[in-house]
Amino acid sequence: MGIIKRQGIQNSIISYTGVLIGYINVMVLFPRILNVEQVGLTRVLPNIALVLAQLSALGFGSAGIKFFPFFRDKAKQHHNFLTLLLGIPLLGFGVIISLYYLFQPQILAYYAKEAPLLRQYSFYIGPLSFFTLLFTLFNSYLTSLYKTVIPSFTKDFLLRVGISACVLLYATHLINFQTFLLLFIVVNAGIAVVLFIYVVWLKQFHLSPNLTAWHNRPIRPMLQYGLYAFLGNISSTIITVIDSIMITHYNGLGDAGIYTTATNVASVILIAGSSIYKIALPQIADFWKNYNLTAMQTLYKQVTRINLVIGCLLFIGIWANIDNLLALLPKAYSAGKYVILFVCAARLFDLASGINGHILLTSPRYRYDLIFNILLALLTIMANPYFIQNYGINGAGFVFLIVYGVINTTRLACVYYFYKMQPFDKTSLQIIMLALLAYVVGWQLPFLYSTFIDIIIRSGLITLIYAIGVLNLNLAPEMTDKILSRFRQNFK
């Protein structure tokens, strides 16, 4: 757990700094400088690019992390692993992007009526997809090397700072919207270039046409796993982004802009988990290599406790301040209030269920996770049209909640059934009860005249009550012991 604690804390600091910048973008800059259709365009373009990148990756992002322990040998340049990791997905990209351009008229016709702005700037999808794929692969490689801080810094901080700069240039009329969007794409693509430079700087960029280095390496199992991971990743991506794409089709980019802004507000809950998962995932792969289920069970519970403590605080903080947060946005965005509730609840359960998905996906039973993802992707595709057309963006948020609830419950049950591991104990219930108490006290506080003052006082009161309870009950010793130790050292 040591390396997870160290890099998890570093990643969390970077991530939460990025969250602050991201909130400025989402809550202040984008809604006031761009109209809702333009905001929707900046969300939907990366989502479509992500789908194409996942199709191209052929599951090698996940397969690389799982099988890298069998290639790891710095003296032998990791047995030419990077050639395998990059080569097949880049060939896949060639096929996928060719099919995309072949059927582009039919694809864009899907948005012809409700999203003409997307058709106008659709030529950015190809280049953005390519760099999204490169970022995915280099991030996977660096994760396998336990080098997660720079990828976190690049995606969670540098990307958001670059986007802020782009929108501020547009706000000051130094550039027009066309130039803004070009710079927006360049910034999104540039983070892949940063990771490439970092890999080279680490002297870990090893490409060779010599395939004999793969002798006695598990190539065939990796390819088989990659196929399953490919189908699973596509299904997960569909579950994640299909809602905004369908909203764009049925209701237009304006509603997509409101919906994605609401989901971005809720996504702050995932920051703690994503910071820890980046370094926990390769360690899980090592545990499976040695079949060390005892260590994995310990990690499972520790990660869940930390995630639940942080996730509950963020959830109650967001919902206790929901009216204040919406007051900071233009009036049109108030339509996303219950989207925030649904997505926050889904994200909290996703966080609280710990690393069940990672355990299952890297286990010998990984095919079950694939089946779950495919079934739920189909459910999402079938349910969203009905709920979006009848209940608008709230319907899409409700489907999101149901799908994530079902998939995480199924994964929990599956991990327990096969490996007799589950992440919860009595502290889980104590954390939830403490969060409810802190929320009720904060909710009872009357409005304090100013939106900003009210957010500060209400959030401070909730955090104080919650933090005292966590410390006194010792609900997350993995996190609080290290903080208290440093505090004592500084104030001796």
d(CA 201, CA 255): 43
CA atoms of 464 and 438, how far apart (whole Å): 9
What integer pLDDT is reported at residue 484 of this predicted model? Answer: 56
Give Cβ neighbours of residue 221 (< 8 Å, ≥ 6 apart): 67
pLDDT of residue 239: 81
How far, in Å, CA of 7 to CA of 299, rounded?
Answer: 15
Note the pLDDT of residue 195. 93
- Whether 299 and 1 have beta carbons less than 8 Å apart is answered as yes
Distance, C-alpha 249 to centroid of its chain: 24
pLDDT of residue 393: 95
Q: Please give the pLDDT value at position 5.
A: 52
Predicted confidence (pLDDT) at residue 278 exceeds the cutoff of 90: no
pTM, two decimals, is 0.79
Give the end-to-end CA distance of the chain in Å, rounded to a whole number.
Answer: 27
Task: Please state, in angstroms and rounded to a whole number, the distance separating the CA atoms of residues 108 and 433.
Answer: 49
345 — pLDDT class (breaks 50, 70, 90): very high
The mean pLDDT value for 418-446 works out to 91
For residues 284 and 299, the answer to whether their CB atoms sit within 8 Å is yes
pLDDT in tens, 163-218: 999 999 999 999 999 999 999 999 999 999 999 999 899 888 877 777 666 776 67
Instruction: Tell me: pLDDT of 286 over 90.
Output: no
Name the residue with higher pLDDT: 154 or 63. Answer: 154
Strands (E), 112-260: none
297 vs 15, residue with greater confidence: 297
Please state, for a pLDDT cut of 90, what percent of the chain lies above it. 33
pLDDT tens sequence across 471-481: 888 887 766 66
- For residue 447, what is the DSSP state? P
**Using CA of residue 194, residue 42, residue 58, residue 233, what is the dihedral sign?**
positive
Continuous H helices in 363-425: 366-419
> Is pLDDT of 103 > 80?
yes
Which phi-psi region, left, alpha or beta, contains residue 176 (left: φ > 0; alpha: ψ -120 to 50)? beta
Sign of the CA dihedral 153, 154, 155, 156? positive
Q: How confident is the model at residue 319 (pLDDT cuts 50, 70, 90)?
A: very high
DSSP at 329: S
- CA torsion 224-226-230-231 (nearest 10°) is 30
Q: 384 falls in which pLDDT band (50, 70, 90)?
A: very high
Residue 295's pLDDT is what?
Answer: 86
pLDDT value, residue 302: 85
